[in-house]
Structure 1
Amino acid sequence: MSQLRFNALKEVFRREPVKVEIPERLSRLYNQNVFSDETMKEYMTKSAYNYIKAAKLRGEKIPREIADQVASAMKEWALSKGATHYTHWFQPLTGSTAEKHDAFFSTTEEGGAIEQFNGSMLVQQEPDASSFPNGGIRNTFEARGYTAWDPTSAAFVIDTTLCIPSVFISYTGDTLDYKTPLLRALQSIDDSATEVAKYFDRNVTKVQSTLGWEQEYFLVDSALFNTRPDLQLTGRTILGHSPAKGQQLEDHYFGSIPLRILRFMQDLEVECMKLGIPIKTRHNEVAPNQFECAPIFEEANQAVDHNSLLMDLMTRVARRHNFKVLLHEKPFQGVNGSGKHNNWSLSTDTGENLLSPGKNPKKNLQFLTFFINTIKAVHDYGDILRSAIASASNDHRLGANEAPPAIISIFIGSQLSGVLDELEKVTEGKLSPDEKTDLKLNIVGKIPEILLDNTDRNRTSPFAFTGNKFEFRAVGSSANCAEAMMVINTIVSHQLKLFKKEVDGLIESGLQKDEAIFNVLRDYIKTSRKILFEGDGYSKDWEKEAAKRKLRNLKTTPEALKIEKEQKFKDVFIQNAVLSEVEIEARNEIKLEKYSTLIDIEAQVLADLARNHIIPTAVIYQNKLIENVKGLKDIFGAKEFQELAKEQIDLIKTISQRISSIKVAVDQLNSEKDKSHAIEDSQKRAEAYSNKVKPLFDVIRQDVDELEMLVDDEIWPLTKYRELLFTK
């Protein structure tokens, strides 16, 4: 094993940056392999194109004959790009994307062959659903599932395959993917936000949710990756002593990008441009060998598809550069983990960002309406936001020094806090002319000026307002953005419906519209105070303060997932037609099962490494020491021997103690793993893995990591942190 490690290091030192062909202007590549609006206009009739636009804008159904026209146009375009196959590209609840390729090729009755692709093939495909997570929605022997075309997201060509973004449902019509509930949530927020936006602009007919994700990741050389069974099987290093230098000097953050890494980034950007992913930013992150990329904001559904596609592309492009992309939230202990910050906002078809103030009091009141309603939504349903980002991998990151805590709170900055303080003092009921003037000029009117200096971010806040958007920082780097976006849009949509009902009621009672809005917003500020926090989210004082405020600190995934079954949280999805009760129960079951399975796999990998790699290596080194001690005894007298061999004898004892401790802990680990695995109830099983199995990881790791510092470097079997993190 040690020989594998050193051979890998030699291979890395011989690497040269891969040449990448970059055009003078990346913009010329944009959407090159996408069935975009411009392409549709070129290949489709005007009538067919208008149906597609209507489906995107208003959710209107596409007639069968139009689907045939679209399929024909899509096929001709795909063939011109060299495509030979098509697939319904979907996002099952495995956390990755899925696809089944069918050839355009078809035989004719005359014995010839043609390329065939019609409306039926475009609209629906039937993959085998038996092996995808379903949470009990269907029996194992019932294999049928359906993918259905999502016309709101553009089709694209990768290599020789036309990829058609699709939803994935069971034979009974229940959702088995991330996209379907997201689309429902986006429809819900469109309906509710449009109705509220009409208070301020009657011309608004559509509101769309926007998303700008920031993708963090690590890169390690593929040769080094292949020397670490834990990285290969779990995505993280279960063992490994921290190097003397990690990120303490903060010299990697925004530093000069190493040439091999830069070539990978350039290659990735070229591929992204071709597929319409508007990557804008690239830079070094805080931890060694950690990086980030981010795109321009897009409509949320398209942005989610693009992020899922990006993760696929990263793996594909990294292979060309002899890298492995690590998307695990915490691949290395002791340095920052990786997140996927979801920057969320709402925009209208009239060009307004509803979370950005305007040039007059009316637009600023519109901003306050959506801003405060979002705060109220998170106040009432923050725990379901926590469950949306719960996973075995994200548990390693949340609450650490680079990620927000598991307590959901909102940071808005001192200036906006002051605005809310002033609004809370607004007189209840009707306002006098002087009160209205003061409110509009001195409070609401000054918001744009305030926000010019209110763009700082509290990095310890899981949900922070950053000028014209909310940044959900707690999302994990390997997660599908759809889950978080589905929850945010659902709870805000629900809150906006309640808001409109209250405002309309006050208007009917005799208050003017602005007075009614101010009255309701004032009440929301009073009732949502406890969710606002401006301080250090990492501090123990905040944990105590949060407990006083009765904010939950859901530190583990089983704790976070348990609340999904509370009726309050079920109702918000059911009432807004985003998820049915059956779908809620099924998805909860899938998440719990995935958590338990991942911990079980990690336990098996850890036991294997400890028993079959670490202990034998320690014994080999110990035997060398013993032989050396025996030699010293043969050469020197008793007194000199005692003095000269003392350090080695102590080292032999220490190694023996560590080996014994590891063996005992591994035996206990296997015992607790087997007990946990045997528990039938999914919630209790996940809790057992969390409370009984997972704590033993740290016990074993401590002993192994200490052995790493004792055993001869020449025979240590696992590639070390200093090599994984600092070998470029």
Structure 2
Amino acid sequence: MNHDFDVISAARNWRTDAVDTATPDQIISSVYASDVLTLEQLKARLSKPTFKSLQATLERGATLDPSIADTVALAMKTWAMEKGATHYTHWFHPLTGSTAEKHDSFVSPNGDGSAIATFSGKELIQAEPDASSFPSGGLRATFEARGYTAWDASSPAFIMRHANGATLCIPTAFASWTGEALDTKTPLLRSVEALNKAVTPALKLFGASEGTRVSSTLGAEQEYFLIAEEYYYRRPDLVMTGRTLFGAQPPRGQELEDHYFGAIPDRVLSYMTDAEQQLYALGIPVKTRHNEVAPGQFEIAPIFEDSNIAADHQQLTMQVLRNTARKYGLVALLHEKPFAGVNGSGKHCNWSMSTNAGENLLEPGDTPHENLQFLFFTSAVIKAVDEHQDLLRISVASASNDHRLGANEAPPAIISIFLGSELSDIFDRLESGQGGRGAEAGLLGLGTSVLPPLPRHAGDRNRTSPFAFTGNKFEFRAAGSSQSISFPITVLNTIVADAVSALAAELKAKLEGGADLNSAVADIVKATYSAHKRIVFNGDGYSDEWHQEAEHGRKLLNLRTTLDAVHHLTDAKNGALFEKFKVLSDRELAARQEIMYDIYFKTVNIEGETTEYMARTMILPAAVKYLSELHAAGSSKAVKGVAAEVEAAADELFDAVQALSAQNTATGGDEVHEKAHHMRDQVLPAMTAVRKAADKLEKVVAEQHWPLPTYRQMLFVK
């Protein structure tokens, strides 16, 4: 195998499709949301009474009137066919973490041999896909196939295009015949409503007008790697598992710190531009793009929007990133840790709460110490995170994210909150009774008279914090790059709803007892912060000292692995919380726990089997072939020395593969949680031993014999 040719072809043999780029004015006027059935589009196509009825559902949460379904379906079909769609699909989020779709044609035959385009209100509102092959966690038996998708009118329909046509996608919820949620969207929608019902009464105590509704908002940053597809298909581990199971560290990684925010290579920039044009057409508000820390790593980030729509858009973003990469001879890797020894990839979730009038409830204003409403809701978030550390950790738990959390580019598995210097000072003063404002934001001098001073944020950023206040929102940094954001946001919405409900009840009681609003809020904020300030940490989350202090001094949870965390999902307090707000029943919660165990087991099992396969059929044969060549080359000191190194590493690899094979054959038990623990405690360490020996071989076997593209090649050919 000529690896020099592989490198050259990977660098040169890439293609690009001409993209109709647009100016900002053109994007705004004709591209943005052009493939989305917006409210304006519907308003133009529906009668006033029909649109008013639909608007009541979208804006006020009123029950959808089935009598308008046929009219809406006709408008939707007409619009989609004008856009070139030939098929429609109910697009939903099963518990696989990805999306699902079954396409049906608009074309229906007539009895006279002709055909017509049909799409009824019944077909819009509900469909019946086969649910038997989706994970259900024991909610249904495999032979029970009936499941339903139900139109989510709060998320707009959109067009997905492909080379030979287009499809109308209708966002839907997915439930079993018994009405139990088999998806991630249904609990998310329930949690949004729970947050609204908890926060709206609290806002009224602060003087909010009637008709105020509250929803959570979200902007999810997406990190990813790009590698040449020339290399991807030569790596069975990447194809089968999404990460490299082998790979010695190259002489150069990210230590020069020259990739972060560096000039974007032309090939990558062309790809990014193409992807952005598609995302704009889907109404996805992408804002930034840049090189990330590791070689070959990049990021795309949107601005915030309603969390349900943001969750849909996040899934679409991943799909567009993957599909578009292939047009440029690239493959987009969304795994949390595709390459050992360099940065992994996360998905930072920027979360806040907003009213239907556009008021951000976590906006501190110019004087946060005087902003009663801001301090009240921030206190509720602090309380929520402290009381439900376990749920936040569980919400980001996966076999792939275990490789990232706690490493030097990701927050630790210990959940804590970063508030920054000014906000921490304000809370400390309130707790002590001082009040007022201590630390000032001030100005940041740039050290030269040529450049003006810039306003400085009240607190510096903290990349080591899993949950950081960043000016007018909280950034949940622990989510993994490949996961759906629906469950983390469901958890956030629910735990904050719980905290706000409790604090609002206290505030109402104080006001009814004659206290004025200022003193009542001050008392509640003081007591809440005092009770939960252990969760606030502004220091280095990577340090050993913090781990000691967090676990032993502050008694915070440190759920290091997925299995440590998932165990707590069905704790009594968690079941009671989700049941209280009607977000997940006990059965639905237990099902999700079962699925998380099952996915963990299967993920590591696939990795273990792939590791054994590659070591036996690719790496060991390469080492044996090179040894044979060396033995035929004579008996010089150099030959004997190299042969001894190769032989020692090959023997180590052989022994490690034998041990891994034994663990792959064993199951660890009959129950899925027993199998999952076997994977963590036996298979993963056995895989590590195989990799250690194989990576030694990579450094001593002649390059022309090495069967796999190396990190040096994959990370630096752009």
Aligned ranges 1:388-427 → 2 under 5 Å: 388-426=395-433
Cα deviation 1:452-476 (Å, max 9, x = unaligned): 5225210000000011000000000
After TM superposition, list the pairs within 5 Å mapping 1:654-665 onto structure 2.
654-665=645-656
Match for 2:547 among 543, 558, 563?
543
Superposed counterparts of 1:99-498, under 5 Å: 99-159=101-161, 160-203=166-209, 205-358=212-365, 364-426=371-433, 439=435, 442-443=436-437, 453-498=457-502
In the TM superposition, what whole-angstrom CA distance separates every residue of 1:113-153 from its partner, at most 9, and x where no partner exists?
Answer: 11111110000011111110000100000111110100000
Counterpart of 1:97 (choices 78, 96, 99) is 99
Contact persistence 2:668–2:674 (CA under 8 A):
no
Q: 1:81 and 2:54 equivalent?
A: no
| Residue identity opposite 1:695 in structure 2 | P
Tell me whether 1:566 sits opposite 2:568 in the alignment: no
Structure 2 residue 684 is the aligned partner of structure 1 residue 685: no
Q: TM-score, normalised by structure 2?
A: 0.94
Q: Equivalent residue for 1:432?
A: none
Contact 1:4 1:227 in 2 (8 A): no
Cα drift, residue 12 of structure 1: 3.6
In 2, the alpha carbon distance for the partners of 1:449 and 1:104 equals 61
Task: Tell me, in whole angstroms, the C-alpha distance in 2 between the residues paired with 1:692 and 1:164.
Answer: 44
Cross-structure match for 1:670: 661
- Cα deviation code 1:689-713 (max 9, x no counterpart): 1111111222111111110010000
1:651 and 2:657 matched: no
For residue 26 of structure 1, what is the aligned residue in structure 2?
A: 27
Q: Deviations over 1:286-310 (max 9, x none)?
A: 1111100111210110111001011
Match of 2:559 among 554, 578, 586: 554
Partner amino acid, structure 2, of 1:26: I
In the alignment, the residues of structure 1 paired with residue 56 and residue 369 of structure 2 have an alpha-carbon distance, to the nearest angstrom, of: 31
Where 1:614 maps in the other structure, the secondary structure is helix
Is the contact between residue 106 and residue 119 of structure 2 (CA under 8 Å) also seen in structure 1? yes
Matched, 1:708 2:713: no
Secondary structure of the structure 2 residue equivalent to 1:417: helix
Q: Which residue of 2 aligns with 1:429?
A: none
Stretches of structure 1 that go unaligned for 5 or more consecutive residues are: 427-437, 633-644
Letter in 1 for 2:269: L
Query: 1: CA distance between counterparts of 2:511 and 2:102?
Result: 55
How many Å apart are 1:332 and its aligned residue?
A: 0.4
Match of 2:448 in 1: none
Give the distance between the partners of 1:5 and 1:143, measured in 2 at CA.
52
Return 5+ residue gaps in structure 2 as ranges: 445-454
Deviation track 1:398-443 (CA, whole Å, cap 9, x = no partner) reads 01111000000011012211111111123xxxxxxxxxxx84xx24
In 2, Cα distance between equivalents of 1:520 and 1:278: 37
Whether the 8 Å contact between 2:195 and 2:497 is mirrored in structure 1 is yes
- In 1, Cα distance between the equivalents of 2:307 and 2:370? 24
Whether contact under 8 Å (2:668, 2:677) holds in the other structure is: no
Tell me the equivalent position of 2:452: none
Matched residue SS, 1:198:
helix
Give yes or no for the alignment of 1:590 onto 2:595. Answer: yes
3-state SS of 1:340 partner: coil
CA distance in 2, matches of 1:699, 1:682: 25
2:686 to 683, 692, 696: 696
Alpha carbons 1:361, 1:445 under 8 Å: kept:
no
Classify the secondary structure of the residue corresponding to 1:102. strand
CA offsets 1:465-523 (integer angstroms, 9 cap, x no match): 01100000000000101111000000000111111112222233332233222212111
Which residue of 2 is the match for residue 642 of structure 1?
none
Amino acid aligned to 1:566? D
Mapped to 1, the partners of 2:442 and 2:200 lie a distance apart of 23
| CA displacement at 1:3 relative to structure 2 | 4.9
Structure 1 pair 446–199 and aligned structure 2 pair: CA distance change class (3 A): farther
The Cα offsets for residues 357-399 of structure 1, whole Å up to 9 and x where unpaired, read as 2367897110001111101100000111000000011000001
C-alpha contact (below 8 Å) 1:214/1:294 kept by paired residues: yes
Aligned partner of residue 148 in structure 2, secondary structure? strand
**Partner Cα distance (2:368, 2:17) in 1:** 55
Q: Which residue of 1 aligns with 2:447?
A: none
SS at match of 1:219: strand
Q: Highest CA radius of gyration, 1 or 2? A: 1
Shift of residue 572, structure 1, vs aligned partner? 1.1
Aligned to 2:451: none
TM-score normalised by the chain length of structure 1:
0.93
> Any conservation in 2 of the 1:361–1:444 contact (CA below 8 Å)?
no
Structure 2 distance, partners of 1:716, 1:360, is 63
The residue aligned with 1:69 is 71
Q: Distance in 2 between matches of 1:86 and 1:256?
A: 41
Q: 2:520 aligns with which of 513, 516, 519?
A: 516
Which residue identity lines up with residue 532 of structure 1 in the other structure?
Answer: V
d(CA) in 2 for partners of 1:253, 1:193:
40
Equivalent residue for 1:619?
624
Cα distance in 1 for residues equivalent to 2:109 and 2:48 = 31
Other structure's SS at 1:564 match: coil
| Alpha-carbon contact 2:93-2:185 (below 8 Å) kept | yes
Q: How do residues 717-728 of structure 1 correspond to structure 2 at under 5 angstroms? A: 717-728=707-718
- Note closer, same or farther for the CA distance 1:331–1:242 as it changes in structure 2 (3 Å cut): same
Distance 1:129 1:668 in 2: 39
1:397–1:315 Cα change, 3 Å: same
Q: Secondary structure at the match of 1:250?
A: coil
Q: Aligned partners of 1:445 and 1:346: how far apart in 2?
A: 26
Larger mean Cα displacement after TM superposition, 83-92 or 679-688: 679-688
- Aligned residue in 2 for 1:637: none
Task: Work out the percentage of aligned pairs sharing the same amino acid.
Answer: 46
Letter in 1 for 2:391: I
- Separation in structure 1 between the aligned mates of residue 104 and residue 77 of structure 2, nearest angstrom: 13
Give the AA of the match of 2:9.
Answer: K
1:155, 1:301 → 2: CA distance?
A: 13
Distance 1:296 1:115 in 2: 38
Q: Matched residues in 2 for 1:238 and 1:447: separation?
A: 47
**Structure-2 change in CA distance of 1:5 and 1:396 (3 Å):** farther
For residues 607 and 445 of structure 1, the distance between their equivalents in structure 2, rounded to whole angstroms, comes to: 58
Query: Could you tell me how far apart the structure 2 residues matched to 1:359 and 1:726 are?
Result: 46
Q: Given that residues 215 and 293 in structure 1 are in contact (C-alpha distance below 8 angstroms), is that contact kept between their aligned partners in structure 2?
A: yes
Q: Is the contact between residue 16 and residue 327 of structure 2 (CA under 8 Å) also seen in structure 1? A: no
Amino acid at match of 1:309: L
DSSP 3-state at the match of 1:528: helix
Q: Which moved more, 1:222-231 or 1:355-364?
A: 355-364
1:205-255 per-residue CA deviation (whole Å, 9 max, x = no partner) reads 111110011000001111211110000000001001111111111111111
RMSD: 2.0
Matching residue's letter, 1:178 = T
Q: Size of the alignment, in residue pairs? A: 699
| Aligned counterpart, 2:55 | 53
